Amino acid sequence: MIKKYKIIDYDFILVFMVIALSIVGIMAINSADPSSSNKQIAGLIFGVVMMVFISLLDYVYIIKLYILFYILNAVLLALVLSPLGSSTNGAQRWVSLFGITFQPSESAKILLILFYAQFIMKYKDRIKSFGFILICLALLALPLGLIAGQPDLSTCIMLMAIFSTIVFVAGISWKIVIAVLSVSIPSVLFVIYNAVQGESSILHDYQQRRILAWLHPEDYANSEAYQTLNSMMAIGSGQLYGKGYNTNEISSVLNGGFISESPTDFIFTVIGEELGFIGACIVIGLVLAISLDCFLISMRAKDKAGEIIAAGVGAWIGFQGFINIGVATGVIPNTGIPLPFVSYGLTSLLSSFMGIGFVLNVRLQSNKYIFGRV
């Protein structure tokens, strides 16, 4: 299963960007919660090993296990809602097996990308059929339903973004794209309108409050908008160069204890306050560059499955990075979703490295295909 490749074909730039972003994350985590940094360092080392190992395999053979990936994903997500699942802050998103606690909704992203890569590859001649798209959506409904039951709306949105990218890259008909946009955009506007019209009939209370806190943060300054307002204040106080790494300034919002979930959901806040505008731009630039590199690799893939894998991972890193940073800066409503390669969380970190490993393998095989056949 391990193939021989030329080292000159290896995308060392992508590897460097991923590791650099992870190191920035470890620095920020050490500042926010020193007790978590050693685990993140161990996760980085293990993740790099996994990434390199996966990149040297042959994704063509691995994705043939696509049915197993789908079943495994469904089982793990179902276990979250079983007695084996554990909850934090009212959300049951973790499961403990053999003494290991992990978050199946994070691993679901890479497992579904691999599943759809082979499934669409197998029926690529039917991708322009509306009926086939409905089948793909039906297959997505089970994991989405299990994740929504946790509840975890933000991950559901992420999976829909990844799925939309996958079917678009696969060659979906523009008529379907226009039809979906003509329905989805008004639907989003209706949800927002429904949230501001008193008691919502389609949203949970906490979801409605998050939307209202986004629209009118001053009215929820001591509740739902508390974290976002403090996050914006912390990032703004960092100015151009920041207050200094691991600063002990009394004026630090982080040191004052005004930011909870600082190692995870609001890790970008720590970066903005301590490393300033320049540090924040470096993180944004790395996330954007990694995502774009994945899309460029997708364009050179040797087959449809390779295109889907690389584009799916690119959408995952790009959209999730945008959502996390958007929450920290008040651009979008508060959602509990990590910043790829930066936020604390071994499941998220290892899943992301696995995704990059498959992208690297797509790159190696595309080069092998191009130069081997010309």
The rounded percent of the chain whose pLDDT value lies above 70 is 90
Output the six-digit token pair for 314.
Answer: 């690119």
Q: How far is CA 228 from CA 102, 224, 269, 324, 358, in A?
A: 27, 8, 9, 11, 35
DSSP labels, 122-191: HTGGGTT-HHHHHHHHHHHHHHHHHHHTTT-HHHHHHHHHHHHHHHHHHT--HHHHHHHHHHHHHHHHHH
Lowest mean pLDDT among 86-90, 135-139, 256-260, 292-296: 86-90
Label residue 136 by pLDDT band (50, 70, 90). Answer: very high
Query: Residue 172, exposed/middle/buried by CB under 10 A (0-12, 13-18, 19+)?
Result: buried
Q: What is the DSSP string of 100-133?
A: EEE-HHHHHHHHHHHHHHHHHHHTGGGTT-HHHH
> At residue 152, does pLDDT exceed 50?
yes
Q: Mean pLDDT lowest for which of 14-23, 229-238, 288-297, 344-353?
A: 229-238
Pairing of strands 85-88, 91-97: antiparallel
The Cα 99–Cα 368 span in angstroms is 42
Q: For residue range 228-285, what is the model confidence (pLDDT) as tens digits?
A: 888 888 888 888 888 888 777 666 777 666 777 778 888 999 999 999 999 999 999 9
What is the average pLDDT across 283-300? 95
pLDDT digits (tens, 9 = 90+) for 16-39: 999 999 999 999 999 888 888 899
**Exposed e or buried b per residue across 60-86, where buried means at least 16 C-beta atoms within 10 angstroms of its C-beta:** bebbeebeebbebbbebbbbbeeeebe
Query: Which pTM value belongs to this model?
Result: 0.88
Where is average pLDDT lowest: 115-124, 165-174, 207-216? 207-216
Q: What pLDDT, on a 0 to 100 scale, did the predictor assign at position 364? A: 92
Give 55-87 pLDDT, tens digit per residue.
999 999 999 999 999 999 999 999 888 877 776
DSSP character for 63?
G
Higher pLDDT, 301 or 181: 301
pLDDT band at 358 (very low <50, low <70, confident <90, very high): very high
Of 133-137, 148-152, 221-225, 281-285, the least confident: 221-225
Taking the C-alpha atoms of residue 256 and residue 233, their distance in angstroms, rounded to an integer, is 13
Mean pLDDT over all residues of the chain? 85
Q: What is the pLDDT of residues 329-343, one digit of tens each?
A: 888 887 778 999 999
The tokens of 53 are what?
């190992």
pLDDT of res. 129? 85
Overall average pLDDT of the 96-119 stretch: 88
3-state secondary structure of 240: coil
